[in-house]
Amino acid sequence: MHARRWIPYAFLAPAFIGLVIFRFTPICLALSGSFFGQSIRGASIFVGLKNYAELIGDPSFWSTVSTTLIFNLIINPFQVVCALALAMLVRRPTKLVDVFRAAFLLPMTVSIALTSILWSILLDPTLGPVNGFLRFAGLPPQPFFRSAGEALPTLILVATWKGAGYWMVFLLAGLLAIPKELDESASIDGANAWQRFFGVTLPLMRRPLAFVLVADTAANFLLFAPVYIVTNGGPNDATHLLMFEAYQSAFAFLNQGRSLAISTIILVIILAIALVELRLFRSDDGSAA
């Protein structure tokens, strides 16, 4: 549509000023700051790639990286499967389905910080009602967050409790877009529910599933609150994720160069994930731009 040349830019200006100052400037600052360190007097000095070299030579950094990778390799597929299961459960409208849809979204209103606090209380080895229930059911009580072996799996379950309903909405949208007739005709041809799911539904859900998997990965890569609030990276570094390492470097060890080097690595990973996501998204929506 035709308008005087500057008009579209005037409409865009407030949002783009915000994006440039608060999104793109920090990205540049992370990159440039990662090349600086501090002299003994506290002055900022250019150190080139020293921050990165130190990270590469630091075994504790690599253990953080491997914990973060293991965490992501398990939680992302797990959350997507849970979200798909939830979406399948509320796919067909029945009388109660609206109530259940709302119930599945309830954890969205419990912030990630409160989710962490709530579950650290629920799973407390001595006070918590979950162990009370296990004893009641005749099962052995578990240490959950308090043991190096169970902390990471517990973190995965708790984060999934919070996240599954959020991702369900996107998959439900995909399921509702599948024409009912496809399912019905497969049913008439004698396919059972299992065959219909794998033969009809799943192939048609490839795009939404891929989109949710990638977006979920970006979110989980940055998980911070439960580690900070509940486990403090422990026990025995079992939940020491990359974002927590970046936080500690900056605010506990006051090593800004190291912290910004880790931030840059995180940003590169997130940017790579975002580019994959962009591809999926644009092939989904030819009219996007």
Partner 1 sequence: MKASALAIARHLALVLVATILLLPVYWLIMSAFRPADDIFRYAGEFGLATLLPRRLTLENFHQIFAGTFPRALFNSLFVCTATVTLGVLVNSMAGFAFAVFDFPFRRALFIIVLLSFMMPFESIVIPLYTLVRTLHWTDTYAALILPEVAGGLIIFLFRQFFAGIPREIYEAARVDGASWWQIYWQMTLPLSGPTIATASLMMFIHQWDAFFWPLVATSSADLAVVQVAIARNMTLEQANWGALFASASTAVIVAAVPFFILQRSYVRVVAVQADK
Nearest to partner 1 of 74, 88 (CB atom): 88
Nearest to partner 1 of 74, 110 (CB atom): 110
Relative orientation angle of helices 256-284 and 242-251, to the nearest 10 degrees: 150
Q: State the residue for tokens 């491997």.
A: 66
CB 259 within 8 A of CB 246: yes
Minimum Å gap between C-beta 256 and partner 1 is: 7
Minimum Å gap between C-beta 254 and partner 1 is: 13
Minimum Å gap between C-beta 55 and partner 1 is: 15
Element (H, E) at 16: helix 7-19
CB 26 within 8 A of CB 256: no
138's torsion region: left (phi>0), alpha (psi -120 to 50) or beta? Answer: left
Find, among 55, 58, 79, 15, the residue nearest to 266 by Cα: 55
Class of residue 73 by CB neighbours under 10 A (exposed 0-12, middle 13-18, buried 19+) = exposed
45's torsion region: left (phi>0), alpha (psi -120 to 50) or beta? Answer: beta
Nearest to partner 1 of 67, 255 (CB atom): 255
CA dist., res. 23 & res. 139, Å (int): 49
Question: For 67-198, where are the E strands, in sequence order?
Answer: none
| CB within 8 Å of 155: residues ≥ 6 apart | 71, 145, 223, 226, 227, 231, 239
Minimum Å gap between C-beta 8 and partner 1 is: 4
Nearest to partner 1 of 31, 74 (CB atom): 31
Nearest to partner 1 of 186, 218 (CB atom): 218
CA dist., res. 194 & res. 185, Å (int): 15
Minimum Å gap between C-beta 50 and partner 1 is: 18
Nearest to partner 1 of 181, 285 (CB atom): 285
Question: Which letter does DSSP use for residue 139 in this model?
Answer: P
Minimum Å gap between C-beta 31 and partner 1 is: 9
Would you mind telling me the total number of residues written for the chain in this entry? 289
Nearest to partner 1 of 61, 119 (CB atom): 119
Minimum Å gap between C-beta 59 and partner 1 is: 23
Nearest to partner 1 of 67, 249 (CB atom): 249
Q: State the residue for tokens 């390492």.
A: 245
Minimum Å gap between C-beta 25 and partner 1 is: 6
